[in-house]
Structure 1
């Protein structure tokens, strides 16, 4: 009986050491969060076709939005910052990132193309 108790104690102490080691091995690794994934999105080239300041929207002819599984097309998008519309005019070339925000495809980052 003493041998069985000793073997059990050794097994449990070994399990605890393995679990602690596994936890410390992965402690520095972060899981990708939605915001981290957003930061890694690719900038998309586009041309401004229309700016609708009253509606807070812009019409863009753009390349594929791979993060949204959308092909290249011309479409109307909301902008997360309406002040950006003051920086855009028809014919401008821009680069942008878009996300689905509350069911609406929305420009979440933009910069003039260089």
Structure 2
């Protein structure tokens, strides 16, 4: 019985460690430049490098951003950001200070 419990604990530790490593990889920052802002619509156009976590090549595209995120952005600003799908929409979820 002890062997089963130890095996289960070892497996759980491995799964937790692996999922933490995957999350850290997904949260990798991408470099970009703010091309345009539409604060009313909560949209920001960014010229960005490859979005590894989303499997997208470098391009210019529109992202959603909440009011707090929009307040930190200005046209022409170079940024490092994390984007993800939130309710099916590509969204800026984190900015590097």
Q: Which runs of 5+ in 2 are unaligned?
A: none
Q: Which has the higher contact order (CA 8 A, sep 6+)?
A: 2
Residues 108 and 18 (structure 1), Cα distance of their counterparts in 2 relative to 1, 3 Å cut? same
- Work out the CA distance in 1 between the residues paired with 2:12 and 2:88: 35
The alignment's C-alpha RMSD in Å is: 2.0
Report runs of 4+ in structure 1 exceeding 2 Å deviation. 23-29
Other structure's SS at 1:83 match: helix
Structure 1 segment 34-73 matched on structure 2, within 5 A: 37=23, 39-40=24-25, 41-73=27-59
Q: Which runs of 5+ in 1 are unaligned?
A: 1-15
TM-score (norm 2): 0.81
How far the C-alpha of 1:25 sits from its partner, in A, is 3.2
How far the C-alpha of 1:27 sits from its partner, in A, is 5.0
**What's 2:84 paired with?**
99
- Work out the CA distance in 2 between the residues paired with 1:86 and 1:21: 50
Q: Which is higher, the Rg of structure 1 or of structure 2? A: 1
Other structure's SS at 2:53 match: helix
Other structure's SS at 2:56 match: coil
- Work out the CA distance in 1 between the residues paired with 2:72 and 2:57: 26
Report the number of matched residues: 93
